[in-house]
Amino acid sequence: MGMDATLLQAIQDETKDRKAADDALRGTVDALRNDAIESSIVGTYAFSGPVVCLNSSTGFNADLTPKASTSPTASAVISQLTGISYGTRTFNADGNGHVDVTTQSIITPSIFYTSTGGVGIGFNNSTPPNPSGGVSVAVQGADFTWKIEDGKLTITEDTVNGTFTQGNRVGWSVVNTGLPRGVGVLGKDLRTIALTTEDVQVETTTQSPGPGQTGTPSTNFRICARERILRKL
C-alpha cells in the first residue's frame, strides 16, 4: 500500500525545516565561538592581585638577606609590606602599553638594627611615641613594552610613578624603580592572563614631599612578589 501523498509531503517538509533550523543554530554557535576567541591581546585588561615586599633601608646582600648597618649614626630598618593592587593594563599593537594601578598597603612596624648590636621598634619620623607601621594607598602609572615568544608574554616595566592618596604621606610622590620583568601565561581565548614576576630582584622606592609640603625624602630598597589576574574588557 503506497503512502498517502499528503503525509509524505508533510514528512519531507518537516525534515527540511529541521535541517534549516539545525543549520541556523550551528551558524549561531560558530559565530558566538568566533566572537569569544581573540586574535591578539591588543586591548585593555582589568586586573587585581596581591603584593608582598620585604623592605630594607640598607639594601640586600647577594644571598638576599638585609644588609647590616655599618654606620654608628644610621640603623638598618626592616619592615614588611602586604597589599592588594588593582587597575587596568592596555596593550597597544606596536608592542607598547600603559598601566594604571592603585595599591592598598599594610606596613608592619619597622625593626631597627644598629651597628653595635642594638635592636628596637622604629618610630614614625624617628620621634617617640609615634609607632611605625600603618596603611597607605598609592595611585601610580607607567608605560611598558611587551612581546609574546613561544606562547609566553613578557612585560618590561622598569619605573612606576605616582602619589599617595591615603595614609600619613598624602600628596607625597612615590617612585618605584628596578622592577623585574613580568611573565604571563595566556588563556586559550586570550581574554585571561595570569601574570607574575619573572625573578627575584632588588627594587628601589623613593618617596618625596609634594608641592608646598615639608619633610625629608626617603629611599628604601625592597624585594617583592606579585601576582595579577588580567581579564579583557
Q: How confident is the model over 28-62, as pLDDT tens digits?
A: 545 444 444 567 999 999 999 999 999 999 999 99
Residues 59 and 98 in one domain: yes
Same-domain check for residues 132 and 106: yes
Same structural domain for residues 125 and 211?
yes
Say whether both 71 and 148 belong to one domain: yes
**Do 27 and 75 share a domain, yes or no?**
no
Domain shared by 29 and 48, yes or no: no
- Same structural domain, 20 and 96: no
- pTM recorded for the entire structure: 0.79
Query: What is the domain-level CATH number for residue 108?
Result: 2.40.160
* 91 and 203, same domain (yes or no): yes
* Domain ranges, residue 228: 43-232
Note whether 29 and 80 are same-domain residues. Answer: no
Query: What is the per-residue pLDDT across 125-147, written as a single tens digit (0 to 9) for each?
Result: 666 677 888 999 999 999 999 99
Q: How many domains does the chain have?
A: 2
Residues 187 and 139 in one domain: yes
* SS3 readout for the chain: CCCCHHHHHHHHHHHHHHHHHHHHHHHHHHHHHHHHCCCCCCEEEEEEEEEEEEEECCCECCCCCECCCCECCECEEEEEEEEEEEEEEEECCCCEEEEEEEEEEEECCCEEECCCCCEEECEHHHCCCCECCEEEEEEEEEEEEEEEECCEEEEECCCEEEEEEECCCCCCEEEEECCCCEEEEECCCCCEEEEEECCCCEEEEEEECCCCCCCCCEEEEEEEEEEEEEEEC
Mean pLDDT of 95-118: 93
Give pLDDT tens digits for 205-230.
999 999 989 988 999 999 999 999 99
